[in-house]
Homo-oligomer: A and B are copies of this chain.
Amino acid sequence: LKDILRKTKRCKGFDEKSLDELVLAASIKTAAKGEIIFYEKDPAYAFYVIEKGKVKVFKMSPDGKEQILMIANDGDTFAEAAMFTGGIYPASAQTLEKTELMVINRDRFVNILERNPHIAMNLIARLSELLHKLNRLVEELSLTDITTRLAHYIVNEIDSHDLNVKESGTNSNYKLSLTLKEKKSTLASQLGTIPETLSRSFAKLSKEKVISVDGADIEILDYDHLSNIAGQ
């Protein structure tokens, strides 16, 4: 357990004492693909660290439209905030593949927090980061159209990985490319829309020669223009 924690990005820099304390609040859980970790409005008695796997956190409207709030991968944590807000989960969580989870008990964790400023500061930083992201989502949902959101998503992906520049075969130019890590229908839900509309946005950007799409592979033909559409 402790070794797993040590490898978690969220726990970088924690001292041995903090890790020992955290272990006391933790247990392990394995979930199959498609399993529900918790439903929105379930009582929240724990939060989660992903050891290995992938989980989507989402909200669902009465008529079935889904809005993904985040996709959590190896080393990510989720549902931390739920522990302090009324005791229920504000969204649902479901695995997208077989996933190993660490479950951190709420009451024990709060207890640890009160005695470990280091862990508390870490949590504050994490909550701030979440706020920042939600902020961004609100901005996009209320102020921009879907093509803009898609452009923004692509630019972000490109900028966060440095592995996307490949030397072109024919000359000495470089190519920017990207392979989607999720299904397009999942991406649609993340961007607050449906697959059909996302597909049309891809088609639009392709038609404008900004990108070219081949399945999950996307090549950026005009980064400046794309960046422009994304709005800086």
Contact = CB atoms under 8 A, between A and B. Distances in A.
B124 A131 contact: no
A163 interface: no
Given A90-B135, A135-B91, A138-B134, A124 B59 contact: no
Contacts of A169: none
Contacts of A143: 59-61, 65, 67
A121 interface: yes
A67 B138 contact: yes
Contact of A117 (B120, B128, B130): B120
Chain A interface helix/strand/loop/mixed: helix
A134 B134 contact: yes
Contacts of A91: 135
Contacts of A83: 128
A130 B132 CA distance: 11
Of all A-B residue pairs in the complex, the 8 with the closest CB atoms, nearest first, are: A84-B128, A61-B143, A127-B127, A85-B132, A67-B142, A81-B131, A134-B134, A141-B141
Nearest to A62: B231
Contacts of A141: 138, 141-142, 192
Interface of A: 59-62, 65, 67, 69, 81, 83-86, 90-91, 113-115, 117, 120-121, 123-125, 127-132, 134-139, 141-144, 192, 231
A25 to B, nearest CB: 16
Contact of A59 (B90, B113, B120, B139): B139
Contact of A124 (B60, B127, B132): B127
30 contacts: A59-B135, A59-B138, A59-B139, A59-B142, A61-B144, A62-B231, A65-B142, A65-B143, A67-B138, A67-B143, A81-B132, A83-B128, A84-B124, A84-B129, A85-B129, A85-B132, A90-B131, A90-B132, A114-B117, A114-B121, A123-B124, A124-B124, A124-B127, A127-B127, A127-B131, A134-B134, A134-B135, A138-B138, A141-B141, A142-B192
A192 B138 CA distance: 9
Contacts of A144: 61
